[in-house]
Amino acid sequence: MIDLKKIPKIELHVHLDGSLNIDKISEITKEDKKVLEEKMTAGEKLSSLKDYLDKFDYAVSLLQIPDLIRKLASSLREDLIKDNVIYAEVRYAPLKHISYISMDEFIDIVYEELNKDKKLKVKLILCMMRNDSKLNNMKVINLAKKHLKKEVVGIDLAGDEDSYPTKDFKDLFDYANELKIPITIHSGESTNYKEVEAALNMHAKRIGHGIRSIDNFDLINKLKDNNILLELCPTSNVQTNSVDIYKNHPIKLFSLLGVTYSINTDNRLVSEIDLSREYKKLIDNRLVTIEGIIKSNLNAIKYSFLTEEEKVTLFKKYNDLLREM
């Protein structure tokens, strides 16, 4: 079988604060690794998405001081390169990291650290939070516009969709769309397919997770007709109890129905996963083939928020690396 680590990879859905390196955190904080794992990882399964989101709290508390931000962003860069990721869109919520520095300074530090090695190209997606105020989320949109096509390539809505439905954010997404900011929205992860329908009415070109789309055939057709990509994160979906067991993840059905998707980790630390291991789990459970994995990476390039010129360059790099395998 092909060495899955050698496959060049594209990751469109990876959270900064959920993907830090636990060894680096242990080194910095002097905390025992097992204690950190209890705080920061999901294990095999939690009872809900909300329990999963609670695992972010400690990482967020660390990502406040410039020196720590640099060290932890650097460790993510190294982990992505070890996994043979050549392009990633890393997302985070700016207003969670302003205890000691400005939102602009945070962008500068993270972007610089993540792009220090030419093997890896990284852009940022800024997350509005469902439980935050309209005023604060407007600040995130304006920040994204300020840095658009430089460090930032898009905007997202994240958090507890059970308590804060997508439809309540239409004004914000209309505003982001007017500013020509590319949009992806976490939806249909833990609730129902109607959340995905709502996201499509808010100018989303990609859907974070979107697994409940499988419950409505009209929505499946709408995803295809509107060229929407699902950012699938199988291990995370099991851990949040959005899918009961791994072999029942709908990724295979999405393939059979012609829905476009990419494969992602969501949170490398919280889920204790990288793309190489995610690919192996998918293959072992007969949910995808090697050819399907390659196709998902090509989909990820096509649906990335890069410029068309940047996509052409990335397609060439990806295909060159494939030929070298």
The alpha-carbon radius of gyration of the chain (Å, integer) is 18
Residue-wise DSSP of 252-272? HHHHHHT-EEEE--B-TTTTT
Residue appearing with tokens 């804060």: 164
Active site residues: 189
- Rounded to whole angstroms, the Cα distance separating 254 from 288 reads 11
- Rounded to whole angstroms, the Cα distance separating 170 from 90 reads 24
Contacts of 36 by beta carbon, 8 Å cutoff, 6+ apart: 22, 25, 26, 29, 58
- Rounded to whole angstroms, the Cα distance separating 241 from 245 reads 8
- Rounded to whole angstroms, the Cα distance separating 254 from 214 reads 7
Contact 131, 92 (CB under 8 A): no
Q: Which amino acid is at 321?
A: L
In DSSP terms, which residues pair with 245 in a beta bridge?
none
